[in-house]
């Protein structure tokens, strides 16, 4: 209690000290940066799932070629879940003598449980609706055009006349590449009565459920414990939208990177300020010790003062973080319209804890050393200095920084890249400044007077100069990464989705239709056609062990071993694929080979040389895992988890899948194409592309927000670094003025000193940021051909050197005006 009172008094008296204010401000900034980003990331994570749920129309579903047992529905109801039953099938629609094969979805009125069904009922633009009432149907624009009918007309589906009450604009379609176009929505009761869902139909039945996450999980567990009907598979948000998921993963990696760098910047500022605070307190501590205060109490007082400073700072930081996260979320709310709006408090609390850890880690070494100041230091200042070749305490901030990187980066890889890069920058900056100081000693005597004084000043404060240059380099590298490299990476990402990214997928193309389709597409102006064979099969065994007898740690493994898999083959490695283990099989390997994606490697614990057995149609194929690929799922190219060699797989029953780019506004031509090739499924991914582009834009926006904090943190580092030597500088200036130094001499010397310091820091930071950016681009964000903008970085480095010089000069203005009388007054 006494200690608390003493600490409070000490804080009140010392609050005016700039280093304490820097400590406080840095801490607030660190917590704000970490808190905003963590809150946004958590919400974004929820957003990903909610968004995927929107796309499948529910939180979880099951689809099966047979009607699903009623028990599934009643079990869901017992869990308190809402359910929707539907079935999809191809069916030919007739009207006025016209006919068109449609992809029909027969639903109940509850559809969709998640997401929105957008309709145009011909009155006032699009409206949000539910599944059609019995006796009615919704048709999409292409279906209406193909059949030559309008709203209010009647269409015959499965022998029943249905009135078209609305045009189908957009529906949650599961993002599954099985949808046939054009589309129609009818009531499931009508479909049943028309016998469209009976035995022998080609219908795929779906049961979707939505509700509380715990209830959904309970239903999921229950379903997984059941013996699912033949061919049935779960529809989960996690499995859908791989591309969207990758986009979100990248987005949160970006955000985490920026937050992390801001927090590290704040850490550097904290470390510098703590160092300075400790130096200022040395005499006071020596006096306290001389007056008989035990070391423990001295340390307690110091820790108490900082704690009293830290607690309000992290509270303010946490509150500001929540407020800003809420504001940012509000701005970006159109992205995830249906995400729960409650504000997650956990991330802000974690950020506050992290801020305290940063403060503790970065201030501990100077404070612990401070408590060691011997009482005799009141008589002899030199007694405060202890010569230590290696001070293990100074590993603490490095460890805290590593922990911070580890916990915030979300991936060991990102953590590694950042940790190694920053360490490299620190070492290079240290070495370069040591070299500068060494040169300074040698060059100074023959140099221009201003340069000589500047160099002498740098050399005089050897230790401080090293600390300043290293801190400035670290601060600048973080700033350059944020301000120049991150936007360049984002731009690289955006360039990966150029305006002519394939926006259509076509399924079900037969061998004999390929040439005609290609020609027809070229006639419409379609480009970038990429065609691959597609077979559908199931995984039956691994290394001869039947798959249903194997147990895997990953839950997903069971889902994937139950489902129908899409298989393909190719002689050449597809674009946006990279072999990371084994060798690509080529055209004619001696035995059947399959190349697997890393997700499969992880899911089934596979390695090169394992043998996988598949059942495809009537036949089986055993293939050796020849290579493991890293697939860029964001590329919007047709990609497969499993790719066989063509020599052994081309005889498997297959169709073709293709992607192509078709400029918007070709609805009529596509409807014709769809009529000419009735069996084709054409899938429009424009909406998905738009969404990913939207995500890139939103992330850019969010990164800009965080960048704001980082710039502040950077300014604090700069201020702290320059302030670190201000006191010495002032005393020195007073002495030099007394000895007759001109103000211009002091200014020129300071300009030289800071310009050199800025140049060392700026150049180290520019090359450090370029190297780190290159590494991040390739290893973390997988942006092909990413080249960091070296020109801009170098310019920024020179700019930074100039800013350091100007700020240094501005700080020195006061110093050079120090009255020489100060010395006489000091005695």
Q: Which of 398, 402, 608, 741 binds another protein (CB under 8 A)?
A: 741
Kindly indicate which of the ranges 52-60, 297-305, 427-435, 449-457 contains the residues binding another protein, using the contact rule CB under 8 A.
Answer: 449-457
Based on the number of CB atoms within 10 Å of its own CB, is 297 exposed (0-12), middle (13-18) or buried (19 or more)?
middle
Alpha-carbon 798 to chain mean position: 31
Q: Which of 353, 529, 735, 802 binds another protein (CB under 8 A)?
A: 735
**What are 187's two structure tokens?**
């009531």
586 belongs to the binding site for another protein (CB under 8 A): no
Q: Which of 396, 745, 792, 794 binds another protein (CB under 8 A)?
A: 745
747 belongs to the binding site for another protein (CB under 8 A): no
Q: Which of 346, 449, 617, 619 binds another protein (CB under 8 A)?
A: 449
Query: What is the rounded distance in angstroms from the CA atom of residue 751 to the CA atom of residue 760?
Result: 14
Based on the number of CB atoms within 10 Å of its own CB, is 820 exposed (0-12), middle (13-18) or buried (19 or more)?
middle
Q: Which of 97, 125, 445, 665 binds another protein (CB under 8 A)?
A: 445
Across 543-688, where does the E strand assignment appear? 545-546, 565-569, 577-582, 593-597, 611-616, 619-631, 642-644, 655-661, 681-684
Give the nearest distance from C-beta 820 to another protein in angstroms: 4
Question: Degrees (nearest 5) of the Cα angle 189, 195, 198?
Answer: 100
453 belongs to the binding site for another protein (CB under 8 A): yes
DSSP string, 736-779: HHHTT--HHHHHHHHHHHHHHHHHHHHHHHHHHHHHHHHHIIII
Distances (CA, A) of 597 to 178, 241, 710: 22, 16, 37
279 belongs to the binding site for another protein (CB under 8 A): no
* Nearest residue to 321 via CA among 29, 27, 44: 29
**What are 3's two structure tokens?**
């200690």
Q: Which of 125, 292, 498, 827 binds another protein (CB under 8 A)?
A: 827
By CB under 8 A, the residues from 700 to 729 that bind another protein are 728
Give the nearest distance from C-beta 737 to another protein in angstroms: 6
Helix (H/G/I), strand (E/B), else coil: 509: strand
Give the nearest distance from C-beta 493 to another protein in angstroms: 49
Q: Which of 489, 736, 759, 804 binds another protein (CB under 8 A)?
A: 736
By CB under 8 A, the residues from 183 to 222 that bind another protein are none
Helix (H/G/I), strand (E/B), else coil: 215: helix
By CB under 8 A, the residues from 358 to 397 that bind another protein are 381-382, 385
823 belongs to the binding site for another protein (CB under 8 A): yes
**What are 148's two structure tokens?**
């030559």
Give the nearest distance from C-beta 746 to another protein in angstroms: 10
* Nearest residue to 501 via CA among 461, 530, 459: 530
Dihedral of CA atoms 663, 665, 669, 675 in degrees, nearest 10, equals 110
Give the nearest distance from C-beta 732 to another protein in angstroms: 6
Query: What is the rounded distance in angstroms from the CA atom of residue 621 to the CA atom of residue 619?
Result: 7
Kindly indicate which of the ranges 143-151, 303-311, 460-468, 755-763 contains the residues binding another protein, using the contact rule CB under 8 A.
Answer: 460-468
Q: In degrees rounded to 5, what are phi and psi of residue 107?
A: -130, 165
282 belongs to the binding site for another protein (CB under 8 A): no
Kindly indicate which of the ranges 129-137, 444-452, 540-548, 683-691 contains the residues binding another protein, using the contact rule CB under 8 A.
Answer: 444-452
What 8-state DSSP symbol labels residue 483? Answer: I
Cross-strand partners of 492: none
Number of other residues whose CB lies within 10 A of the CB of residue 28:
24
Q: Which of 227, 412, 515, 739 binds another protein (CB under 8 A)?
A: 739
Q: Hunting for tokens 């930074």 — which residue is that?
A: 800
Number of residues in contact with another protein under rule CB under 8 A: 32
Q: Which of 76, 269, 332, 456 binds another protein (CB under 8 A)?
A: 456
Give the nearest distance from C-beta 447 to another protein in angstroms: 10
814 belongs to the binding site for another protein (CB under 8 A): no
442 belongs to the binding site for another protein (CB under 8 A): no
556 belongs to the binding site for another protein (CB under 8 A): no
Q: Which of 334, 740, 785, 791 binds another protein (CB under 8 A)?
A: 740
Q: Which of 452, 558, 666, 730 binds another protein (CB under 8 A)?
A: 452
Q: Which is nearer to another protein, 339 or 733 (CB)?
A: 733
Give the nearest distance from C-beta 631 to another protein in angstroms: 59
Q: Which is nearer to another protein, 315 or 821 (CB)?
A: 821
Interface residue list for another protein (CB under 8 A):
381-382, 385, 445, 449, 452-453, 456, 460-462, 728, 732, 735-745, 819-821, 823-827
């Amino acid at each position: 209690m006494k200690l608390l009172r003493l600490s409070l008094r000490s804080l009140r008296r010392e609050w005016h000290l700039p280093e304490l204010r820097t400590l406080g401000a840095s801490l607030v900034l660190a917590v704000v940066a970490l808190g905003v980003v963590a809150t946004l990331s958590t919400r974004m994570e929820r957003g990903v799932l909610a968004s995927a749920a929107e796309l499948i129309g529910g939180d979880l579903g099951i689809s099966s070629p047979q009607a699903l047992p009623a028990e599934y529905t009643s079990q869901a109801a017992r869990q308190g879940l809402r359910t929707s039953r539907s079935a999809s099938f191809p069916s030919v629609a007739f009207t006025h003598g016209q006919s068109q094969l449609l992809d029909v979805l027969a639903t109940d009125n509850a559809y969709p449980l998640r997401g929105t069904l957008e309709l145009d009922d011909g009155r006032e633009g699009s409206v949000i609706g539910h599944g059609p009432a019995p006796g009615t149907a919704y048709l999409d624009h292409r279906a209406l055009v193909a059949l030559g009918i309008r709203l209010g007309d009647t269409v015959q589906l499965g022998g029943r006349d249905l009135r078209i009450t609305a045009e189908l604009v957009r529906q949650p379609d599961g993002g599954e590449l099985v949808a046939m176009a054009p589309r129609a929505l009818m009531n499931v009761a009508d479909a049943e009565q028309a016998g469209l869902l009976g035995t022998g139909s080609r219908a795929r039945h779906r049961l979707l459920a939505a509700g509380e996450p715990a209830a959904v999980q309970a239903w999921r567990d229950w379903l997984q414990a059941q013996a699912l009907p033949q061919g049935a598979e779960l529809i989960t948000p996690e499995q859908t939208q791989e591309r969207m998921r990758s986009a979100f993963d990248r987005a949160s990696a970006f955000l985490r990177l920026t937050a992390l760098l801001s927090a590290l910047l704040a850490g550097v500022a904290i470390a510098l300020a703590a160092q300075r605070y400790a130096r200022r307190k040395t005499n006071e501590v020596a006096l306290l010790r001389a007056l008989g205060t035990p070391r423990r109490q001295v340390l307690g007082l110091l820790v108490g003062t900082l704690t009293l400073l830290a607690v309000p700072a992290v509270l303010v930081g946490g509150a500001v973080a929540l407020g800003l996260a809420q504001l940012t979320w509000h701005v970006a709310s159109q992205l995830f319209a249906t995400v729960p709006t409650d504000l997650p408090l956990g991330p802000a609390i974690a950020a506050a804890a992290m801020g305290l850890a940063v403060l503790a880690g970065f201030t501990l070494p100077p404070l612990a050393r401070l408590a060691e100041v011997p009482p005799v230091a009141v008589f002899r200042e030199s007694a405060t200095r202890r010569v230590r070749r290696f001070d293990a305490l100074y590993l603490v901030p490095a460890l805290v920084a590593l922990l911070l990187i580890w916990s915030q980066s979300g991936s060991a890889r990102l953590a590694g890249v950042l940790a190694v890069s920053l360490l490299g920058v620190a070492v290079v900056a240290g070495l370069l400044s040591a070299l500068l100081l060494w040169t300074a000693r040698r060059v100074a005597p023959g140099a221009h007077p201003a340069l000589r004084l500047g160099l002498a000043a740098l050399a005089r404060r050897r230790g401080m100069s090293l600390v300043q240059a290293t801190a400035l380099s670290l601060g600048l590298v973080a700033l350059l990464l944020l301000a120049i490299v991150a936007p360049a990476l984002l731009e690289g990402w955006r360039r990966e989705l150029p305006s002519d990214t394939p926006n259509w997928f076509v399924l079900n193309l037969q061998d004999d239709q390929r040439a005609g389709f290609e020609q027809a597409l070229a006639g419409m102006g379609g480009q970038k056609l990429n065609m691959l064979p597609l077979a559908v099969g199931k995984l039956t065994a691994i290394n001869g062990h039947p798959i249903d007898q194997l147990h895997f740690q990953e839950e997903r493994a069971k889902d994937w071993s139950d489902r129908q898999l899409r298989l393909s083959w190719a002689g050449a490695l597809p674009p946006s694929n990279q072999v990371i283990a084994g060798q690509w099989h080529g055209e004619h390997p001696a035995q059947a080979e399959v190349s697997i994606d890393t997700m499969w490697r992880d899911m089934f614990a596979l390695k090169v040389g394992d043998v996988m057995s598949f059942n495809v149609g009537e036949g089986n194929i055993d293939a050796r895992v020849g290579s493991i690929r890293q697939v860029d799922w964001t590329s919007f190219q047709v990609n497969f988890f499993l790719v066989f060699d063509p020599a052994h797989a081309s005889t498997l029953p297959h169709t073709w899948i293709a992607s192509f780019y078709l400029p918007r506004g070709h609805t009529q031509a596509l409807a014709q194409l769809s009529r000419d090739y009735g069996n084709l499924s054409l899938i429009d991914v424009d909406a998905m592309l738009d969404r990913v582009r939207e995500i890139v834009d939103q992330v850019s926006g969010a990164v800009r927000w965080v960048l704001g904090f980082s710039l502040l943190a950077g300014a604090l580092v700069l201020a702290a670094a320059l302030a670190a030597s201000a006191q010495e500088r002032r005393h020195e200036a007073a002495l030099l003025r007394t000895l007759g130094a001109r103000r211009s001499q002091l200014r020129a010397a300071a300009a030289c000193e800071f310009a050199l310091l800025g140049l060392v820091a700026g150049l180290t930071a520019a090359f450090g940021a370029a190297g780190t950016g290159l590494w991040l681009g390739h290893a973390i964000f997988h942006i092909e051909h990413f080249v960091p903008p070296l020109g801009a970085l170098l310019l920024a480095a020179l700019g930074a050197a100039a800013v350091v010089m100007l700020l240094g000069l501005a700080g020195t203005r006061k110093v050079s005006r120090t009255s020489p009388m100060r010395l006489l007054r000091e005695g």
